[in-house]
A and B are shown apart, each in its own frame.
Chain A
Amino acid sequence: MTLTAKDVAEITRLLEASDFDELTLELDGLKLAVRRKGAAGPAALESTLAATPAAQPQAPENASSGEAPSTQSITAPLLGTFYRAPKPGAPPFVEVGSSVEEDTIVGIIEVMKLMNTVRAATRGRVVAVLAQDGALVEYGETLMRVSRAAEA
């Protein structure tokens, strides 16, 4: 039994359209595991946050929301000044309610005059924007929450 590239693409498409994060397919002599991008990452981060509430002010809120499985965090990939818009006065990249894809730009983090774009790295609908425009954000700090349930 073999799988063609087309088969794999079809399986991936099925997973994308589903509510599942992970698919494992076992056929005789072949095992295929497909995981939604970012599915494991944010989950792992959340467990870290829950274990260390003192270090992360957002953690209790996230932990008590009870929606952890259906919402994901967009976290700061580096320490710097967070901007929600491409330039002062311009409309923000995303608002609460905006739909995002993995590669959607959701903000900018300025580090020593260098502008680094922040991408959603997940897909769904923005349900909360936690980081203030122009504020210092630390590495790993939650910038936004994205609901994946809204996407279905």
Chain B
Amino acid sequence: MTLKRVLIANRGEIAVRIIRTCRRLGIETVLAASEADRDSMPARLADRTLCIGAARASDSYLNVSAILQAALAARADAIHPGYGFLSERPALAQACAEHGIIFIGPTAAQIESVGDKLRARAQAQGTQVPVLPGGALADTGHAVAVARRLGLPLLVKAVGGGGGRGMKRVERLAEVAQLVELAASEAGAAFGDARVYLERFVTHARHVEVQVLGDGEGDVIHLGERDCSIQRRYQKLIEETPAPGLPDSLRHGLHEAAVRFAQAMAYRGAGTVEFLVDPQRDEFYFLEMNARIQVEHPVTEAVTGVDLVAEQIAIASGEGLRLRQADVHWRGCAIECRVNAENPARDFAPSPGRVSSARWPAGDGIRVDTHIEPGAQVPPFYDSLLAKIITQGNERDTALERMWRAIASTRIEGVLTNLPLHSMLLANREFQAGGVDTGFLTRLLEGAPTSVEAQLG
């Protein structure tokens, strides 16, 4: 069926981005907004806005019944969950299925099976996708034995979710029991699931993920990879495609593994399979699958010309895959910088407030996804993402240079931002050369505190 009206159960830049594609496709949009976002840019752009609850996410963006009620009342055919919030909670997908509303995303069962990281690990092993040595934990006493068998260093990870919560690095056997307990209580608080597992920690690894699209019937294609190794505390900051300097065999291996994994579960919609790449050994390992549109999806769009949200909508409408693998072509390189409202001088603490003036870059090969305009509020209740600046070029150097100029011409006043950090990274030789590992940014910030602080001003 052709969708006539879509309810967007999200906020910020992704809500704006979904509205743009819907508008292009002639689909009406209804925004389910919290009280804090009533006057936001997406609320203004949507054909209709319904206030679903108080500012706190648990009262609004995480409130399944309020969102479903809003969709039914507004006679929406479908709900787009965006990323975060309810996008990867089976409850909303399930409730949609029960009430005849199309959920623009995978099935509730698929969300559940990749949401359980241990099940996803087992599924990877079942499809010959390599995983890191690791295993489940029955109890803390057992942890020491598992740790001894796997060898150090190790990561304690939460079974119920990612994003760095419930994740602890173990360097010494004596710490295992304590860190497992700490991780378990963190995971319990964050995901309502205190189960944790152990996995070998690769000291110098790159984070490379593969974008896939599935029709829900076993047909899956990939749209290439993204390198997201520039991270701080497991939060991605800069992403790019293609991953610089990967041997072709490794690159193809990643693509094929991602397709195999998604195919085995007859995955429906847009998804991302994340891998750790060990550049020293030219090996890769499955990390997890994200069953949603990713924050960093625009870099893939920039080089393939595919509108991933439009493909999500096409799949949800029952059109299936409109592209075959042979139809996907990559042109040049693309890079994305996440501009956050945070204070680099104060350990990147969120910096909410009112944006008094905002000037975003424009020009050839530059795209800005944002909900921030002069006067916009950055509420303290949600994440601090202000914008994603994406640049593209035939060569990586061109994309980097465009980014340098784009960041330099961006002016945000009223809230503090991490723009100085981006300038510093873009000027860094190692980053310019490409292929840094996930520890790079942390080492950079720790290693040269005085010079970094001086540069961050």
Instruction: List chain A positions with a Cβ less than 8 A from chain B.
Output: 52, 54-55, 78-81, 111-112, 114, 136, 138-141
CB-based contact A79/B39 at 8 Å: no
How far, in angstroms, from A52 to B39 measured CA to CA in the complex?
A: 8
Q: How far is the CB of B175 from chain A (nearest CB, A)?
A: 46
Interface readout for B20-47 with A: 1 if CB under 8 Å, 0 if not?
0000000000000001001100010000
Which residues of chain B are near A54, meaning CB under 8 Å? Answer: 39
Chain A residue contacts of B69, Cβ below 8 A:
79-81, 111-112
A136 partner, pick from B54, B65, B73, beta carbons under 8 A: B73
Q: Separation in Å of the B69 CB from the closest CB of chain A? A: 5
> What is the size category of the interface that chain B forms with chain A?
10 to 19
Chain B residues with a Cβ under 8 A of chain A: 35, 38-39, 43, 49-54, 60, 65-66, 68-70, 73
Query: Considering the chains assembled together, what is the distance between the CA atoms of A111 and B69 in angstroms?
Result: 6
A81 & B73 in contact (Cβ 8 Å cutoff): yes
3 tightest A-B contacts by CB? Answer: A138-B51, A112-B65, A136-B73
Instruction: Identify 15 residue pairs between A and B in the complex whose beta-carbon atoms are under 8 Å apart, listed by A's number.
Output: A55-B43, A78-B66, A79-B51, A79-B52, A79-B69, A79-B73, A112-B65, A112-B68, A112-B69, A136-B50, A138-B50, A139-B51, A139-B60, A140-B51, A141-B51
- Describe A's contact surface by its main secondary structure: loop
> Other CB < 8 Å A-B pairs besides A55-B39, A78-B66, 5 of them?
A79-B53, A112-B68, A138-B52, A139-B51, A139-B53
**Which among A52, A54, A111, A139 has the highest number of chain B CB atoms within 10 Å?**
A139
Whole-angstrom distance from the CB of A143 to the nearest CB of chain B?
14
> Which B residues are CB-close (under 8 A) to A55?
38-39, 43, 49
Determine the distance from Cα of A95 to Cα of B38 in the docked complex, in whole angstroms.
30
B53 (CB) vs chain A CBs: closest residue: A139
Q: Write the nearest CB–CB distance from A121 to chain B, whole angstroms.
A: 15
B38 contacts A52, C-beta separation under 8 Å: yes
- A30 nearest CB across to chain B (Å): 35
Taken together as a complex, chains A and B put the C-alpha atoms of A68 and B293 apart, in Å, by 46
Which residues of B sit under 8 angstroms from A111, Cβ to Cβ?
65-66, 69
Q: How far is the CA of A9 from the CA of B35 in the complex (A)?
A: 36
Residues of B within 8 A of A141 (CB): 51
Whether the pair B66, A140 counts as a contact (CB closer than 8 A) is no
Residues in A neighbouring B68, C-beta threshold 8 A: 112
- Kindly state the separation between the CA atoms of A54 and B44 in the bound complex, as whole angstroms: 10
Residues of A with C-beta under 8 A to B52: 79, 138-139
| Inter-chain contacts of A81 with B (CB < 8 A) | 69, 73
Q: How distant is A130 from chain B, measured CB to nearest CB, in Å? A: 15
Closest chain A residue, CB of each to CB of B74: A136
> When chains A and B are docked, how far (Å) is the Cα of A55 from the Cα of B66?
19
Q: With A and B bound together, what is the CA distance between A80 and B74 in angstroms?
A: 11
| Least distance between A115 CB and chain B CB atoms (Å) | 12
Query: Which residues from A are CB-within-8-Å of B53?
Result: 78-79, 139
Q: Could you tell me the distance in whole angstroms from the C-beta of A109 to the nearest C-beta in chain B?
A: 9
